Amino acid sequence: MKKVLSLFAFELKMFFKNVTNIIFVLIFPSGMILLFGGIYGNEPSEMFGGFGTIDVMTPSCICLIAAVTGLMSLPITLCTYRENKVLKRLKATALSSLSIIGTQFAVNFLMTIVGIALLLLIVLIVFHFELVGSVFVVASLTILVICSTFSIGLLIASIFKSAKTATTVAMMVYFPMIFLSGATMPIELMPDTVQKWSNVLPLTHAVNVLKGGWLNAPFSEYYVSVLVLVAIFVVCSFLSVKCFKWE
């Protein structure tokens, strides 16, 4: 365990050395909330069914954080390590294979939580945000969102061999998702056709699920999205375990 922890400490340090990570996990989501919150405040609006901008945006921003760590940081780090034979070198130590991959998962998981905590701190202090839904439900759904997003990232890392391709794919998955899933702009602002098509994106379901729990919507309104996320998690995890290569 001590060995795994030292790998964890090393990888955590490496995470902080990556400026992109810091910007997109810690600064960007909080900045979005401050910007939109500053413009619209958190007044109840008809467009959001009686909720305010902050109420609706916070769950979306949480998904945004999970998307950065899960779809970008996790697969890109793994692919870069594989390409540079770091994975193989680590495999030639007393560390178990599971702990080498698990550490990457854990570091990104922790940083997602840190990003979310920072975001919540801002909405609590600046906008006096109050959670409508139950803390337990929201926490469980957040974990589901993180796990399913991470499983997509692991699949990207397993399928694409080179770090360059994985980066391109991760970007292609990430950027359309953050705009079309309602994570940056409320999906309610989009034309109907775009709203329909955005259902194809996993992150849309993540946003649906979190919004549902967050705003205390009846489960029947978002259970389909919960099922989609569970299915994504199961299928992607299974496939990445099957396809993963150390070199």
Partner 1 sequence: MSIKVENLVVKYGDYCAVSDVSLEISDGEALGIIGKNGAGKTTLVETMEGLGDKTSGSVSINGIDPSDNKNRKKLYNMISVQLQSTNYPDKAKVEDLCKLFSSICDNPVDYKELLGQFDLTEKVNKSVGSLSGGQKQKLSILLALISHPKIIFLDELTTGLDPDARRELWKDLRDLKKKGVTIILVSHYMDDIEMVCDKIGIMKKGKLITVGTKEELIKASGLSRRITFTCNDNVSVLLDKLDGVANIDVLGDQYTIVVSKESAAKKCSEILGKNKIKYTDYVVSRPTLEDIFLHLINKSNGDEK
Q: Within 143-162, which residues bind partner 1 (CB under 8 A)?
A: none
Return the structure tokens found at 25.
């996990």
Gap between the Cα atoms of 163 and 82, Å rounded: 8
Extract the tokens encoding 27.
């600064």
Shortest Å, Cβ 88 to partner 1: 6
Report whether 186 contacts 48 (CB < 8 A). yes
Which two structure tokens, joined as six digits, stand for 239?
């496939």
Q: Is 164 in the site for partner 1 (CB under 8 A)?
A: no
Q: Closest approach of Cβ 89 to partner 1, in Å?
A: 5
Binding residue (CB under 8 A) for partner 1 from 1, 17, 125, 130? 17
Over the window 68 to 87, marking each residue x when it contacts partner 1 by CB under 8 A and - when it does not, the resulting string is: ------------xx--xxx-
Residue 13 CA to residue 16 CA, distance in Å, equals 5
User: Which C-beta is closer to partner 1: that of 15 or that of 222?
Assistant: 15
Note whether 94 binds partner 1 by CB under 8 A.
yes
* Distance of closest approach, residue 10 Cβ to partner 1, in angstroms: 5
Say if residues 234 and 152 touch (Cβ distance below 8 Å).
Answer: no
Residues 6+ apart with CB under 8 A from 197: 180
Interaction of residue 6 with partner 1, rule CB under 8 A: yes
Query: Is there binding between residue 2 and partner 1 (CB under 8 A)?
Result: yes
Which of 20, 49, 50, 93 is close enough to bind partner 1 by CB under 8 A? 93
- Give exposure, 88-110, as e/b (b: 16+ Cβ within 10 Å): eebeeeebeeebbbbbbbbbbbe
Interface positions with partner 1 (CB under 8 A): 2-3, 6-7, 10, 13-14, 17-18, 80-81, 84-86, 88-89, 91-96, 246
